[in-house]
A and B are shown apart, each in its own frame.
Chain A
Amino acid sequence: MSGPGRRRGAGAGRILLRFVCGLIFAFLMLPLVVLFPISFSSGSYLRFPPPGFSLRWYARYFDDPTWIDATWRSLQVGTATTVLALLIGIPLAFGLARGRFRGRSVIENGISAPIIVPHIVISIAIYGLFSKLGLIGEWYGIAVAHTVLALPFVVIVLLSGLRDFDTSLELAARGLGAGPFEAARTVTLPILAPSVYSAAFLAFITSFDELVVAMFISGANMTLPKKMFDSIMSEIEPTVAAVSAMQIVLISALLLLGTWLRRPVTAPLVR
């Protein structure tokens, strides 16, 4: 009989799959294993394994106002980018998913241009424009530039969510007495919420982690990645490791928050 044989084959396949997954996981995670100990190093250089442990590089980060300024600026820029990208991306995705108009597929294919075009090219273009507009060195200027980079991710994630969305749910809501706005509020958006959270997360990360554009247009008002870059250029000390470790913790927390927000909820109250 083929039954047991097939099962054994599937078992071997599963072991191989696990092995490959484990390998990839290790490849992705090992840098963190190195990074965290270095951030607690007592030595003055980026060195692994660290000669001893201390909190001095964390203290140094918190004591240095330029680090703290850069962090706040990055959070501010990241938040503004997220809001802007969603404000533009949600209607755009709805239009692309539901609309029937000329040029729809051109826009849909063109939307990923900011991902394809090298950041350095975008940076130069934006620098030219922003210097005329006097936006260089302003945090909201960086946010606008980052929105350009984040928009494709937002639209792509929302589009796939919208394409999976069963429009008969919206029709059902309308037929049961909900106006167009009411149907969107009580049915469409709650069901699409996971996509919106994912899109928001991606938009934030795109901005929070972005270096190239920030180097061109942030001027003296540095974002965190820019500050980290400058720090590495001038002095090779473990403060960067400490900052990176905190960044990773923050992003992991955001990911967990996203998972929590995406849990199936039993019925938001209708009105």
Chain B
Amino acid sequence: MSNDRASTSPQQSGRLQVDAASKRFGHVAALSDVSLSVAAGEFVTILGPSGSGKTTLLKVIAGFEIADQGRVLIDQADITELDPAQRNIGMVFQNYALFPHMSVARNIAYPLAMRGTPKAEIATRVKQALDMVELGGMAERLPKQLSGGQQQRVALARATVFQPRLLLLDEPFGALDRKLREQMQIEVRRLQRRLGLTTLFITHDQEEALVMSDRIAVMDKGRVLQVGPPNEIYEAPANPFVADFIGESNIFAGVVEADGGNLLRVRLEQGPVIEVAGRADLAAHRGQRVRVMVRPERFVDLAADQNSVWANRIDGRVTDSAYIGVSDKYRVVTAEGIDVLMRLPSGPSSRRYSAGEAIAAGFHAADARLIAVQ
């Protein structure tokens, strides 16, 4: 094809590398020694609460802030101090940042015009971009005449029409309602795959991160705490912050009583002993204080399962129960006073408990994740 400049070509996208970047604002360390690499065509999410430094990281990559230390590279080329206009990075802002005085078509043409693209080519590529985001009929509208979802698509078209080496998305779905949000998540991912575009996505919404990403980098207080695929982040959080920030969790504190092989016996502060799977990357020895996480959905109602052998057993009384549709959510307190959150599958075949009833639940040693050793 002769017009392949305008069509999709996955190899155009770049490999991003952030190398030990640090940035201070006065006394606040917005980024401390952050390293991250994103492979060409990969979709990586930066997940963190507000103030975790994720927006600063994005600005350092886009060139709106310069890192005090460290480097930013795209395809091995050092862009740490390059002018933002020279970086060839597409960005979708939180509020879209569409130019209010320009029509949709002019907005999308802007990056091409700034690169001196010939008029005829601009026209074709703007039209292609509009078709891509299914806004063919909206070319002459002003941004304020569009719905939030449509504005979002214009922003996306504008950020990709010049075939950037990297796409940055800064919490782009924050202003959309839930349904539209889920639809846009799917659309953005589809578009990103089709264009083979290396993408860095910023969000504080852990569910969104789990749904969309190839890999997630969890940030807090200017540091990257863990990088990994969504299931790894969820199943095997590296530390208490990640365990607590992603999904619901029970976190128990205790002391290691025995550390034989890859199984630990931990005596919880409240008395009972549980079996916990050991971690190759986090050694815990007899006498050390540890913290252990169990996801609420890992508990199994022993009344419904008499056959299996359970390493750990919780006996308690339901204090609160809630029906969530896919599951029943219970707050259970044991005789020793341990507070446990459980999600048991709901349905015609499973029993429902109400507040005050006794309940017995089991969980495997492998479902108890060691998250901290002191």
Contact between B97 and A267, CB atoms less than 8 A apart: no
Contact between A173 and B142, CB atoms less than 8 A apart: no
Query: What separation, in Å, do the CA atoms of A205 and B87 have in the docked complex?
Result: 46
Query: What separation, in Å, do the CA atoms of A270 and B101 have in the docked complex?
Result: 11
Given A177-B115, A264-B142, A267-B103, A169 contacting B162 (CB threshold 8 A) = no
Contact between B113 and A271, CB atoms less than 8 A apart: yes
Contact between A168 and B97, CB atoms less than 8 A apart: yes
Range for the number of chain B residues in contact with chain A: 20 to 34
A269 to chain B, nearest CB (A): 8
Across the interface, name the chain B residue whose C-beta is closest to A169. B97
Q: Does B303 contact A (CB under 8 A)?
A: no
Q: Does B102 contact A (CB under 8 A)?
A: yes
Within 8 A of A (CB), among B113-163: 113-116, 140, 142, 158-159, 162
Within 8 A of A (CB), among B42-77: 62-64
CB neighbours (8 Å) of A179 from chain B are: 83, 85
Give chain B's interface secondary structure class: loop
**Chain B 69-110, CB within 8 Å of chain A: the 1/0 string?**
000000000000001110111110111010111110110011
Across the interface, name the chain A residue whose C-beta is closest to B158. A176
Q: Does B41 contact A (CB under 8 A)?
A: no
Contact between B99 and A175, CB atoms less than 8 A apart: no
Contact between B99 and A171, CB atoms less than 8 A apart: no
Across the interface, name the chain A residue whose C-beta is closest to B91. A175
Across the interface, name the chain A residue whose C-beta is closest to B111. A176
Across the interface, name the chain A residue whose C-beta is closest to B102. A267
Instruction: List the count of A-B residue pairs having beta carbons below 8 Å apart.
Output: 84
Q: Given B88, B99, B111, B115, which contacts A169 in the complex, CB threshold below 8 Å?
A: B99
Q: Does A166 contact B (CB under 8 A)?
A: yes
Query: What separation, in Å, do the CA atoms of A173 and B62 have in the docked complex?
Result: 12
A161 to chain B, nearest CB (A): 13
CB neighbours (8 Å) of B63 from chain A are: 174-175
Q: Does A266 contact B (CB under 8 A)?
A: yes
A62 to chain B, nearest CB (A): 42
CB neighbours (8 Å) of A264 from chain B are: 101, 142
Contact between B87 and A175, CB atoms less than 8 A apart: yes
Given A175-B85, A176-B111, A177-B162, 5 further pairs, Cβ under 8 A: A171-B84, A175-B87, A264-B142, A267-B105, A270-B113
Interface set of A (CB-CB < 8 Å, partner B): 166, 168-169, 171-179, 182, 186-187, 190-191, 264-268, 270-271
Q: List 17 A-B contacts (CB under 8 A).
A: A166-B95, A168-B97, A171-B64, A172-B93, A172-B97, A175-B91, A176-B159, A178-B110, A179-B83, A182-B114, A264-B142, A268-B102, A270-B102, A270-B106, A270-B109, A271-B113, A271-B114
